[in-house]
Amino acid sequence: MRSKLRLLILFWLLSGVALAQYGPGVYTPGEFQTTNPYYLLPNPFYFEGRIDWNLLGITTPTNAWEYMERAIHYQDDLGDTQSAIADYETGLTFNSLQNGSCQIVTPATLVNGALPTTLNPAPCIFTLRLRLGYLEQQPNPAQAIQLFQEVTKIDPLKLGINSLIGETYVIEAQQTTDPVAQQQAYANAIQAYQAELALSPVTSQSIALTGDLANNAHVHWALAQIYQTLGQVSSAISELQLYLQATQWHSDVYPWRIPLANALIKTLQATLH
């Protein structure tokens, strides 16, 4: 029995020696990940939105992207809108079309037909503008519109931006007491919403592939509301009908809008007769 115990102890000692080989001071796989100079870098166009702030390990932001990420942290994680706005604004000073600290990537950016390895100045960041613009929609719609319009320059094909512009013009129209300015704001909103629709047009091909006779339900709903406000009944009915077509196979986050659209169409049609 004692010899068995000795053997057991000997084995434990040996296994302890074996396991001790993996102690501190030896290269550990994955160690690199914690200080990986690539992993958490922005993509070359700063096109991603949020990177989790706790992973970045940034003490003090030093450039537009870092200020934006801290602002996102303030806004999304802490609900601190004021700090977020301050950081978005600071970020913009590092990434401004006006002061030339950012550039829009166009054919002129290419060198011998290819993208240069380094883009200097850095590409203009759309997330920075969109997030600040959204927070400024109510208090400062004009500034919000300007920011959104810069995004349409950075990436004219990006969906949803013209809708945001349209939505902000509606806010501007609702806030103003000047009838002329109000009419102009609504006209601008209609133009913006139509620009949004043009980016994802309903074509014979799209109908054949999806069965959808219309898309962008929320754009049509918004346009219908504007036309109702402006007293343009036929246009309002038309947009409500497009809304119903767009929701036929997709419903809506507010599904009660679908029976409401049907009811409104009937009411509006009655006013035409």
Question: Which residues between 13 and 52 bind another protein (CB under 8 A)?
Answer: 15, 18-19, 21-23, 26-34, 36, 38-39, 41, 43-45, 47-52
Q: Does 218 bind another protein (CB under 8 A)?
A: yes
DSSP count for the chain of H helices, then E strands: 13, 2
Give the helix/strand (H/E) hosting 226. Answer: helix 217-230
d(CA 260, CA 269): 14
Q: Which is nearer to another protein, 103 or 235 (CB)?
A: 103
Side chain identity, residue 118: T
DSSP H stretches of helix in 22-156: 31-34, 53-56, 64-72, 81-93, 126-136, 141-154
Q: Which is nearer to another protein, 28 or 234 (CB)?
A: 28
Q: Which is nearer to another protein, 98 or 106 (CB)?
A: 106
Q: Does 237 bind another protein (CB under 8 A)?
A: no
- In the chain, helix, strand, coil percent, each to 5? 65, 0, 35
Q: Does 134 bind another protein (CB under 8 A)?
A: yes
Among 138, 234, 259, 271, binds another protein (CB under 8 A): 259
Q: Which is nearer to another protein, 23 or 179 (CB)?
A: 23
Provide the mask over 69-108, with x wherever binding to another protein is found by CB under 8 A and - wherever it is not.
Answer: ---x--xxx------x-------------------xxxxx
Q: What are phi and psi of 244, to 5 degrees?
A: -65, -40
Among 200, 234, 269, 271, binds another protein (CB under 8 A): 200
